[in-house]
Structure 1
Amino acid sequence: MSKFLVHAKSGFMARMSALLCCVLLGSVLTACSMKEGEAEPIGQPSSANVAEGSAAADENSAKSSGERTITDELGHEITIPAEPKNIFAPNLEDSLLRLGVKPVAQWSNGKRGHDYLQEELKGVPKLDFSEGQPSPEALLSYNPDLIILHTQTYAQNGNYEIYSKIAPTYVFTNASGNIENSLTTIGELLGKTDEANKALQAYRQKVKEAQEKLKEAVGEKKVAIIRFAHKGVSLMGGQYLCGYVVHRDLGLGISDLVGNENSASISMEILPELDADYIFVINAYGQGTERMKEMMESPIWKSMTAVKQGHVYEVSNEYWLGSGLIAYEKIVDDTVRLLTQ
């Protein structure tokens, strides 16, 4: 082979090597520019498409897992597990138990929880609300997967934001009145709709039978519920707790002094205006003893028609201030027993 051919071949190989180096260098530069945010090659999946696909996959995964997105009574949209297991619902323990569910922790005032539920809540730790709502750290230790707040006041002052970071949080405007509505909702949240329906059906039957007995014994006469507490004395209206049971469910007459209000303050001066033939008295958590003694020993109290006729009954603060079907059933029983004897 001539020297010319050898040199020509060598030159050709050198040019090919240089061209290959340029191609490789161009590929590296293209990859680098893509990392810096330049357009991706046509025909390749874009990062936006990948993100959309990931979001769609997450949505499909949520649907397949049975998660549900619902809106609470304050307008918060939340996603909850198909069947939540670790429930924290302060002051709704009664409703949970009626559905066969134990909460991870229970409401308490100091060391005292809802006395009438303690047998069923045996072993359930207490969280103290006496000085405000418990710290996020305290609640986190129970690992809740659903939080239910029985009133919107529990969600105020930034508390909702704190709770919702711990677990999906459903808020009632006020679950302490119409238990039929709140229990139905809780049943839906927990996947316990059948249990809720059965419990409500039994309660409605109980109320119907009680109404028939009370109509014959009481008729159109009025009933007052007076609550003695450390902050004062109040006449309970028909919007919540025992007042809802007595005046709304059982349909017993209510004093004009409270009318459609949640409650009305009672003092010695306006006591003679109390238009009631029967009076239920509640010593709230044993903190109204002094006020109760002072009022009931007064000549004004003793001059009232209901008092003269022996129609004053002290009832248990344990469940007359309770919120749930267990408490409501006990209130119905007490009302029938005391007013038909």
Structure 2
Amino acid sequence: MLNNKKRNGIMSSFLVLSLSLAGCSDSGENVTQTKDNEKKPATEELSTERILTDAMGHEVTIPANPKHIIASYLEDNLVALGITPAAQWSINDGAGLQDYLQVYLKDVPTIPSELPFEVVASFTPDLIIMSSAQEVEGSKYDQYAKIAPTYVVEVENNSDWREKLLSVGEIFEKTDEAKQVLEVYEKKATESKKIIQDSIGSESAAAIWLVNNNFYIVSENVSSGAVLYGDLGLSTPSVVKEISSTATGNWSAISLERLAELDADHIFLINSDKGNGAEMLKDPVWQNIPAVKNGHIYEYGAETSWLYSGVIANTQIIDGVVESLTK
């Protein structure tokens, strides 16, 4: 079993990085770190505008030191690089947002996930960053480009989050910072993988999401599945492999009957129905799943980072996995 002092040191490594490297300021102004560890305005580095070609082939003029940035659902990347956006992604009139980032974004206003043109314009952005081409289908790109320079990060959704972070870093001339953030993450993942293997060997795990009385299982190579199986080396249950082979999204619906076949030694349950009674968890089929019967189930709320992806989200997932599997 892991020494608690060593485990806590590893779990706090990214927090130290985010405070010292990214240099988030209370005012939300972009800052960088000088050699003597003092903050200086990013304007000293971003002194001139630049032209970059985005994933769709657009030549985009990136303004010098952009101050009002709309980058909906890319906030994890911005925060990791010490950048505060003008608005943050939300659903249901701001009722749903990325709770795990609120320690950084608690004072940042919300914007609907659909990014209505008039709402985007109301923030007077000087730079708009879109996660994928899907967000600018049809004539949408031209409409956003009339509001502010618009850069599309990737053609398809669900690309490697590491590449996405590096792309965002390039936009803001923070490639070196992005590489340092990734270096710290990889070190943490490697150390955590060793800790988990020392604790449970080659045992398997699965992440299950319960929402509106329906179960979903994460795919093998995306979202928290990429963390569990790729970064942490946990064994992939055969049910997860089978569902992942035909999955079209990060999470795939799975019936209780199929869950009964889940050959996972451990289950990470993201329970969005906790306040609604979570009736499905009372079903005898669920109760008889081996991991549930053996008490190897670890419950997390929907406010945690398990439903998201990015260096901050994934770091928090790693912390949760290590804590759960090394008790």
TM interval, short-chain normalised: 0.7 to 0.9
| 1:130-141 equivalent positions in 2, closer than 5 A | 133-141=114-122
> CA RMSD of the aligned region, Å?
2.4
Aligned CA distance change for structure 1 residues 151 and 316 (closer, same or farther; 3 Å): farther
Alignment match, 1:202? 184
Alignment match, 2:43? none
Q: 2:81 aligns with which of 82, 85, 99?
A: 99
The answer as to 2:118 corresponding to 1:118 is no
Alignment match, 2:255? 267
Once the two structures are superposed, residues 222-263 of structure 1 have per-residue CA deviations (whole angstroms, 9 ceiling, x without a partner) of 211111123832111133322221122212222322324343
Q: Give, in whole Å, the separation in 1 of the partners of 2:315 and 2:238.
A: 26
Residue 79 (structure 1) shift:
2.7
- DSSP 3-state at the match of 1:180: helix
- DSSP 3-state at the match of 2:239: coil
The answer to whether the Cα contact below 8 Å between 1:108 and 1:127 also exists between their aligned partners in 2 is: yes
Q: Give, in whole Å, the separation in 1 of the partners of 2:159 and 2:317.
A: 13
Residue 334 (structure 1) shift:
0.4
One-letter amino acid matched to 1:111? G
Alignment match, 1:149? 130
Aligned CA distance change for structure 1 residues 181 and 309 (closer, same or farther; 3 Å): same
Aligned CA distance change for structure 1 residues 170 and 288 (closer, same or farther; 3 Å): farther
Alignment match, 1:169? 150
The answer to whether the Cα contact below 8 Å between 1:211 and 1:251 also exists between their aligned partners in 2 is: yes
Residue 98 (structure 1) shift:
1.1
Q: Give, in whole Å, the separation in 2 of the partners of 1:194 and 1:119.
A: 24
One-letter amino acid matched to 1:233? F
The answer to whether the Cα contact below 8 Å between 1:178 and 1:244 also exists between their aligned partners in 2 is: no
The answer to whether the Cα contact below 8 Å between 1:283 and 1:289 also exists between their aligned partners in 2 is: no
* Structure number, greater radius of gyration: 1
One-letter amino acid matched to 1:163? Y
Alignment match, 2:141? 160
- DSSP 3-state at the match of 1:273: coil
Q: Give, in whole Å, the separation in 2 of the partners of 1:258 and 1:243.
A: 9
Alignment match, 2:292? 307
The runs of 5 or more residues in structure 1 that have no matched partner are 1-64
Structure 1 length-normalised TM: 0.73
Once the two structures are superposed, residues 144-196 of structure 1 have per-residue CA deviations (whole angstroms, 9 ceiling, x without a partner) of 22212223332235332322222222222456563221111101101112221
Aligned CA distance change for structure 1 residues 176 and 162 (closer, same or farther; 3 Å): same
| 1:1-341 equivalent positions in 2, closer than 5 A | 66-109=48-91, 110-112=93-95, 113-129=97-113, 133-171=114-152, 172-173=154-155, 178-230=160-212, 232-259=214-241, 260=244, 261=247, 262-284=250-272, 286=273, 289=276, 292-294=278-280, 296-318=281-303, 319-341=305-327
Once the two structures are superposed, residues 99-142 of structure 1 have per-residue CA deviations (whole angstroms, 9 ceiling, x without a partner) of 1110011111222322222231132111123xxx1321211122
Higher strand share: 2
Aligned CA distance change for structure 1 residues 157 and 276 (closer, same or farther; 3 Å): farther
Q: Give, in whole Å, the separation in 1 of the partners of 2:111 and 2:64.
A: 26
Count of residues in Structure 1 that have an aligned counterpart in Structure 2: 272
Higher helix share: 1
Residue 312 (structure 1) shift:
0.7
One-letter amino acid matched to 2:209? R
One-letter amino acid matched to 2:288? S
The answer to whether the Cα contact below 8 Å between 2:274 and 2:301 also exists between their aligned partners in 1 is: no
Aligned CA distance change for structure 1 residues 220 and 184 (closer, same or farther; 3 Å): same
- DSSP 3-state at the match of 1:258: helix
Structure 2 length-normalised TM: 0.75
- DSSP 3-state at the match of 2:104: coil
- DSSP 3-state at the match of 1:111: coil
Residue 289 (structure 1) shift:
4.3
The answer to whether the Cα contact below 8 Å between 1:177 and 1:241 also exists between their aligned partners in 2 is: no
The answer to whether the Cα contact below 8 Å between 2:206 and 2:218 also exists between their aligned partners in 1 is: yes
Residue 78 (structure 1) shift:
2.4
Once the two structures are superposed, residues 66-100 of structure 1 have per-residue CA deviations (whole angstroms, 9 ceiling, x without a partner) of 43333323343323224433211111112111111
The answer to whether the Cα contact below 8 Å between 1:223 and 1:254 also exists between their aligned partners in 2 is: yes
One-letter amino acid matched to 1:323? S
One-letter amino acid matched to 2:184? A
Identity %: 40
Once the two structures are superposed, residues 178-224 of structure 1 have per-residue CA deviations (whole angstroms, 9 ceiling, x without a partner) of 32211111011011122212211111111111011112223322211
Q: Give, in whole Å, the separation in 1 of the partners of 2:296 and 2:207.
A: 12
